[in-house]
Amino acid sequence: MNTRVDFFEENPGSPDLLPKARELERVLSASKKIGVAFSGGVDSTFLAFFAGRRLGIPTVLFFAESPFLSSRERNGALRVAEWLALDLQVLRVDPLQHAEVRDNPIDRCYHCKRSIFGAILNRAAELGCDIVADGSHGGESGYRPGKRALKELGVCSPLALARFVKADIRLMGKTAGLPNWDKPSQSCLATRAPYGTVLTRELLKRIEEAEDFLLDLGCRQVRVRVHGDLARIEAAPESIPLLAADSTRESIAAKLSELGFVHVTLDLAGFRSGSWDKDPAAKGS
């Protein structure tokens, strides 16, 4: 078979990756025009690169701009979109207008995905896209109510269908020269508050400013989890000494106090993706 993924043959990094790349080609090649829900993360970037740049399929990037997205993430995503040099559609959406999102129930992500992907699907239909695809992959597990929304709306997850996991995507992204192949995984700002905490623009902005401050200090991956007037900092283990050092500890406490947090704690367990979902006590509280 004469494939357009042969550039991976020289350095696939794993004997499993080339067959997965060929399967991804097979899945995508059935489409004449693909819409990709683009976040600026490595998963959606790799999917868009593979479809639009390697396979040459007309590909549209749909970037949803919302209060749940930090300015840092927005600007980074737009830089990657410019590098991809594919058609970019920026959609401004506001999930907070929906009470089932704003009230932050345990299935908030389901309702949020319905809102955002509904807007993407409508615009994709106007532009003649055969499918709308997202960057979900086969290695994702745990509590993910948003997946139910994607299934109901008919959104395709080609990376999952081709059995890609995160390590595969990073390795192939590095081989392909993607500028964000090693970008830490990110999630929306709503995930920083426990279920049942009403989400407001003011709260999301405070979280964004707190995390920006910590990232500027040198943290590579960090979350500021909010418990009322207490901010609990989750950081990658290698960043904990930095945050606990006298030279930074006092400045962190001062900055977060300025943002309205009365108490500031450093979680010694470190960063955990979806930590609310791992704590039964946090559900609905």
CA distance 32 to 182: 30
- Taking the model in full, what pTM does it have? 0.90
Q: What is the pLDDT of residue 272?
A: 82
Q: How far apart are CA 113 and CA 150, in angstroms?
A: 7
Distances (CA, A) of 18 to 10, 43, 173: 10, 17, 13
Angle at 71 between CA 115 and CA 79, to 5 degrees: 95
Query: Is residue 185 predicted with pLDDT exceeding 80?
Result: yes
Asked which of 176, 197, 226 is the last residue of a domain, the reply is 176
| Residue 143 domain flag | yes
Q: Are residues 237 and 214 in the same domain?
A: yes
- The pLDDT value given to residue 105: 97
For range 116-133, the mean pLDDT: 98
The side-by-side arrangement of strands in the sheet containing 230-235 is 222-227, 230-235, 263-266
The answer to whether residue 29 scores a pLDDT higher than 80 is: yes
* Confidence category of residue 1, pLDDT binned at 50, 70, 90: very low
In 3D space, the residue among 216, 218, 179 whose CA is nearest the CA of residue 41 turns out to be: 179
Do 234 and 98 share a structural domain?
A: no
Residue 1 forms part of a structural domain = no
What is the token pair recorded at 207? 């979280």
Query: What are the residues whose beta carbons fall under 8 Å from the beta carbon of 124, sequence distance 6 or more?
Result: 35, 60, 62, 132
Residue 253 belongs to a domain: yes
For residue 285, pLDDT over 80 is answered with no
pLDDT tens across 227-274, in order? 999 999 999 999 999 999 998 999 999 999 999 999 999 999 999 876
**98 with 124, same domain?**
yes
**Does the pLDDT of residue 283 top 60, yes or no?**
no
- Confidence tier at 18 by pLDDT (50, 70, 90): confident
In this structure, are 150 and 194 located in the same domain?
no
Could you give the percent of the chain with pLDDT greater than 90? 84
Kindly indicate the confidence band of residue 14, based on its pLDDT and cuts at 50, 70 and 90.
Answer: low
Model pLDDT, residue 10: 55
Tell me, yes or no, whether 49 and 98 share the same domain: yes
Q: Provide the 3-class DSSP secondary structure of residue 188.
A: coil
209 within some domain? yes
Greater model confidence, 190 or 14:
190
| Overall number of domains in the chain | 2
Same domain, 129 and 224: no
The answer to whether residue 244 is domain-embedded is yes
* Cβ neighbours of 263 (radius 10 Å): 13
Q: Which of 176, 205, 235 marks a domain boundary?
A: 176
- From 142-151, 217-226, 276-285, the region with the lowest mean pLDDT: 276-285
Residue 238, classified by CB atoms within 10 Å of its CB into exposed (0-12), middle (13-18) or buried (19+), is exposed
Q: Are residues 147 and 235 in the same domain?
A: no
| 183 domain residue, yes or no | no
Same domain, 48 and 106: yes
pLDDT digits (tens, 9 = 90+) for 44-95: 999 999 999 999 999 999 999 999 999 999 999 999 999 999 999 999 999 9
What CATH code is carried by the domain that includes residue 257? 3.30.70
Same domain, yes or no, for 109 and 204? no
Q: For residue 285, how many other CB atoms are within 10 A of its CB?
A: 12
Of 154, 176, 198, the position where a domain reaches its end is 176
Spell out where the chain has E strands.
34-37, 59-65, 87-92, 131-133, 222-227, 230-235, 263-266
Shared domain check, 102 and 16:
yes
- Domain assignment present for residue 181? The answer is no
Q: Does the structure show a pLDDT above 70 at 30? A: yes
Question: Both 129 and 203 in a single domain?
Answer: no
Q: What is the mean pLDDT of the chain?
A: 91
Residue 284 — pLDDT band, cuts 50, 70, 90? very low
Task: Mark whether 144 and 196 lie in a shared domain.
Answer: no
> Would you say residue 60 lies in a domain?
yes
**CATH number (domain holding residue 34):** 3.40.50.620
3-state helix, strand and coil shares in percent for the chain, rounded to the nearest 5: 50, 15, 40
Range of the domain at 149: 6-176
